Amino acid sequence: METLMTLGKTDLKVPSLCIGTWAWGDSLFWSFGKEYGEADLKQAFDQAIAAGATFFDTAEIYGLGKSEQFIGQFMRQNPQPIQIATKYMPLPWRFNADAVHDAVTASLQRLGVDSIALYQVHMPFDFFMSKKTLMEALAAEVDRGRIQAIGVSNYSADQMREAQGYLAAKGVPLAVNQVRYSLLNREIEANGIFDTAKDLGVTILAYSPLAQGLLTGKYKPENADSVTGARKLDPKFSRQGLEKLMPVIEQLTEIGKKYDRTPAQVALNWLIAQGNVIPIPGAKTASQAEQNAGAMGWTMEPEELTKLDALTRSYRK
């Protein structure tokens, strides 16, 4: 069952979960070409659509353009309508409105579309181009019809207000702020981002919604020594961190049994239940895409949401 929600104060309706595609074509941070390839991504794309997850988040820098190219290619092979969110990176040599126009043109070409549903600013770096110039250039792209909605990513509460002010002057709403948010990373509830988004009518897109896999339940204290890569540096993945996490995993598992869902699906559903939040879990395979989509279309009891809230309140700072 597909559940739709409106992005901010726009007319854009999207599924309540978005598929993240950072790993699509990226061999720098991910193991594209080694552990998975193009065929796996195509299957993930098709499976996501079949399961009602027809909203995909990418960026011009993901795989240095490959992620957008793959989505464009897969769209031509699968006629089902989808919506795409992509991102503009404020690189140092981009210092005027023409640079924004050229970046949108390049993304449209890689995706093979005439219009992008949601175009986001990847980070609040405005040393070379002021926020005002950037937002006005994006508003002009909305007027041209080349993008339908404008978002930002990793913006603080104050930066969101500033961006929203420049856009409002052009009659365009700020639709989203894409930030890190999960049961194990609830900082946005403490630093004003969550409340400001609500005040402004801005939707939160939650990246890393499964906390790098911690909320899937596959990491256990007894296996802490086998953690590899960047996770080794994160104290949440240490034996002590994983021991602290166990009550959360047990609760996710217990709730999941009742609804025939996995701990990951329950964790994603908790985010959706916040009302103004769309989680963006990544998917490199068909089974991951199907698993992600299983977070949509059902609701847990208020007291179950409260239990998870109480168990993870310490992750607000």
What are the φ/ψ torsions at residue 5 (nearest 5 degrees)? -135, 160
SS3 readout for the chain: CCCEEECCCCCCEEECCCEECCCCCCCCCCCECCCECHHHHHHHHHHHHHCCCCEEECCCCHHHHHHHHHHHHHHHHCCCCCEEEEEECCCCCCCCHHHHHHHHHHHHHHHCCCCEEEEEECCCCCCCCCHHHHHHHHHHHHHHCCEEEEEEECCCHHHHHHHHHHHHHCCCCEEEEEEECECCECHHHHCCHHHHHHHHCCEEEEECCCHHHHHHCCCCHHHHHHCCHHHHHCHHHCHHHHHHHHHHHHHHHHHHHHHCCCHHHHHHHHHHCCCCEEEECECCCHHHHHHHHCCCCCCCCHHHHHHHHHHCHHHHC
- Choose the catalytic residue: 36, 62, 119, 181: 62
Cβ neighbours, 10 Å, residue 72: 18
Q: Are 265 and 294 in contact (CB under 8 A)?
A: yes
The half-sphere exposure of 195 on its side-chain side, counting CA atoms within 13 A, is 6
Active site includes 259?
no
Measured at the alpha carbon of residue 24, what is the angle toward residues 19 and 27, in degrees to the nearest 5?
140
Tokens describing residue 188: 């946005």
Residues that are catalytic: 62
